[in-house]
Amino acid sequence: MMVWAVIFGMGILVFLNRYVFLEPRLPVRLSSNARQFLGFAVPGMLTAICGPIVFMPDKQLNLQWDNPYLLSSLVAIGLVIYTRNTLLSMLLSMAFFFLLRWWL
Amino acid sequence: MPLSLATAPWGLLAGSMAIEANLTPLQGQGLSTIVFAGAAQLVAIGMLKGGAGVFSILLTTLLLTSQHLLYGMSMRHVISPLPGRWRIGLGFLLTDELFALTSQHDRQQFNRWYALGVGLTFYIAWNLFTLAGIVLGSSIPGLEHLGLDFSIAATFIALITPVVRNVPTVVCVAVSLFCSVLFSYWQWGSALVLSGLAGMMAGFVCNKLYRERT
């Protein structure tokens, strides 16, 4: 029951987030400060999601070089900088990750 | 639409994680059908599994999807003059991918049918891959140990890295990364939201200082 409440609540919130500025009758505009703050939403929030995945696989801090998540992330960053291609970097770093796990 | 293939590992993960977190198949599919937001879905499943409350899950969702406010704002001039049915339809389908593909279009170039086509393609692909994930997750136990979660990290790294071009963004990412690891290490329930906000705040403050100096 609670799960359905969460699902529908999330559905409503996400839709409102997407729709609110598409509504022509909405007179309010975000202040410049609010806009600047939201401009950091993508790097800020996405990084926060990545952090624990990369540094804490199996819920334990792992800063060793044989942590495949950490190594593959570095490879992914390198690939993006080098190739400038989002999709290619994703696929190659994932391939690297699975090879590494199979090898280690 | 090769980009919709990039949703494959995500969809599989969303489906199989839902099963693993003891959601029913219908709930797992419902998440993809009703919410249709990859990151928020995966985080919500993780939080449900960890026993987080409804309120903290909804707050996280709100913050995680707040970038859509920005998308809505920049698409406003092309979508808000459209009839209500179109606004609601395209609003529901407005994902990171759709925004990336249509945000360059001005009023002349913008084609509502193209946007609808792209949006629906992602919607259908996402739901089919979720279904596949649910089926695989129910029949193959231990799918989550394959390390599909790295595909989340890989996707986000690929999206974040090109954005990191100036000092404030570097500060934002560094603070967010440090806090997320630290707070998760301390096992705080709302680690992700707090560290994301801390990162955004750090970037914002740094941006202010940076601009005043130059």
Contact between B141 and B22 (Cβ < 8 Å): no
Six-digit token string for B124? 């259908």
Six-digit token string for B194? 């707090």
Residue B196 belongs to domain spanning: 164-214
Flag whether B156 is in a domain: no
Per-residue confidence (pLDDT) for residue A75, from 0 to 100: 94
Flag whether B2 is in a domain: yes
Taking the C-alpha atoms of residue B46 and residue B64, their distance in angstroms, rounded to an integer, is 14
Q: Is the ipTM of this complex over 0.85?
A: no
**Cβ–Cβ gap A36/B207 under 8 Å:** yes
Flag whether B143 is in a domain: yes
Flag whether B157 is in a domain: no
CA B1 from centre of chain: 19
Per-residue confidence (pLDDT) for residue A65, from 0 to 100: 78
Per-residue confidence (pLDDT) for residue B206, from 0 to 100: 93
- Report the domain count for chain B: 2
First to last CA, chain A: 43
**Higher-scoring residue by pLDDT: B152, B203:** B203
B174 and B91 together in one domain: no
Of B76, B158, B160, the CB nearest to A43: B160
Of A3, A4, A18, the CB nearest to B94: A18
> Per-residue confidence at B2, pLDDT binned at 50, 70, 90?
low
- Residue-wise pLDDT for B66-125, tens only, equals 778 877 877 887 888 888 889 999 999 988 778 777 766 777 778 888 889 889 988 999
B200 and B98 together in one domain: no
B24 to chain A: closest CA residue: A3
- Residue-wise pLDDT for B7-23, tens only, equals 777 788 888 888 888 88
Q: In chain B, what residues touch A76 (CB-CB under 8 Å)? A: 153-154, 157-158, 161
Per-residue confidence (pLDDT) for residue A29, from 0 to 100: 67
Task: Count Cβ atoms below 10 Å from residue B23 Cβ, excluding itself.
Answer: 23
Per-residue confidence (pLDDT) for residue B103, from 0 to 100: 65
B143 and B181 together in one domain: no
